[in-house]
Amino acid sequence: MKITSAKVFVGGPGRNYVTLKIETDAGLYGLGDATLHNRETLSAKYLEDYLIPCLIGKDPLKSEDTWQYFYRGAYFRRGPVAMAAIGAIDMALWDLKGKIAGLPVYQLLGGKSRESALVYAHATGPDLDQLLDTIAHYQSQGYKAIRVQCGIPGMPTESYGVAGKGEDSRHFLTHFDSLPKEEIWDSGKYLRYMPTVFERIRDRFGPELKLLHDVHHRLLPREAAAFGKEIEQYDLFWLEDPTPAEDQSALRLIRQHTTVPIAIGEVFNSVWDCKQLIEDELIDFIRIAVSYGGGITPVRRIVDLAALHHVRTGFHGAPSHSPISMAAQGHLNLWAPNFGIQEYLVLGTPECDALFPSEHRYDKGAFYVSDTPGLGVDFDETEAGRYSYERSYHPVVRLEDGTLWNY
């Protein structure tokens, strides 16, 4: 069996998904996701101009050799653009491998370690009362774990990932504009207010709710250490990205001062970004995504490394990942002995279901992977014709005096 062609599609409902379809002379095809959030055309061009020409004629079953060929054979290794493109190829080859074998990918990885994967929802609100109502809504939908983000009184602008006044926070997805929106940030206001938010949540919903929170890299190491120590009493499931991920020594200072579980890694794209953090046990959850991380092949190795050091998985699962990479992570979640939790914001909308048909499902706070051979997701090319690329940006963050700050 040989690879005969590969096509790239860019576009989707509300997001610029980058979908790779690899076709073989046996009439089978595999699907991968190369979506690089708000830089989507880069990974698409990397695939089209550099990787796909080298795929034609290769054996689709040799996924390991193909991964090594593209990673080791490049002068410039790693980096989000290259790893997203390689990751899409790797996902598509695992999808093909499962279809050829007649097995879901989790069976190829070693079989199930559990029947379903715990997932968490995003609850947000421009004020605390609306946030509490949103948490109650998600609890009524069966979620046992919820990430909470709240507007901060006195903050000059809305903060990233927080619904604005008048928006429906029960189904809120962050908006991205055609040019960067500028937000104003004040760490002091945040640090004074957020402990009161956690207190109110625990008072209303009790100790059983698994509570997560994302700082979006915006604190200094000293601030994050003090904040973690102050909020230990509220028993968070995790505190995500307290400081910029590239300054890994900051995690050591935080670890010395607080026992709050730390999650980090959604911007990582190889084992070399997290190896020291895992081996020194400076984090509790690794957030790397299958798409940005180069595919199933390398992420499986990261999961195995993490298992040796009491670090659990918590793969990134924002809408910047298409249902294809979410399915790939779903299979890893069923297999991984050190599974922790899965962010869940993609599958289940009518538009995504039409573009990416699958039998994977959410039920009562958990994600269930179907037994369809391969990744278990299809792609409707006719439906894809409805969508085209639309430029978008993450916000830029400044302090009140105009100083640029960490997103």
Contact 376, 369 (CB under 8 A): yes
| Residues 26 and 1 sit within 8 Å (Cβ to Cβ) | yes
CA distance 77 to 315: 22
d(CA 130, CA 152): 13
| Separation between Cα atoms, residue 15 and residue 18, nearest integer Å | 9
Tell me whether residue 122 is one of the annotated catalytic residues.
Answer: no
Q: Which helix (H) or strand (E) holds 301?
A: helix 296-307
What is the amino acid identity at position 329? Q
Q: Using only C-alpha atoms, what is the Rg of the chain?
A: 21
Q: From the candidates 69, 137, 193, 216, give the one annotated as an active-site residue.
A: 216
Of 69, 160, 362, 368, which is the active-site residue?
A: 160
Q: Which two tokens stand for residue 295?
A: 């595919």
Which is nearest to 218 in space by CA: 188, 184, 252, 244? 244
Query: Any bridge partners for residue 69, and if so which?
Result: none
* Tokens coding 192: 């004074």
Provide the residue type at 196 as one letter: T
Given a contact cutoff of 8 angstroms between Cβ atoms, the answer to whether 16 and 84 are in contact is no
Residue 6's DSSP bridge partners are: 22
Q: What is the DSSP letter of 154?
A: T
> Closest Cα partner for 143 from 344, 360, 376?
344
Q: Look up 106 and say whether it is catalytic.
A: no
CA 180 from chain center: how many Å?
A: 21
Paired residues of 149 in beta bridges: 124
Catalytic residue ranges: 160, 216
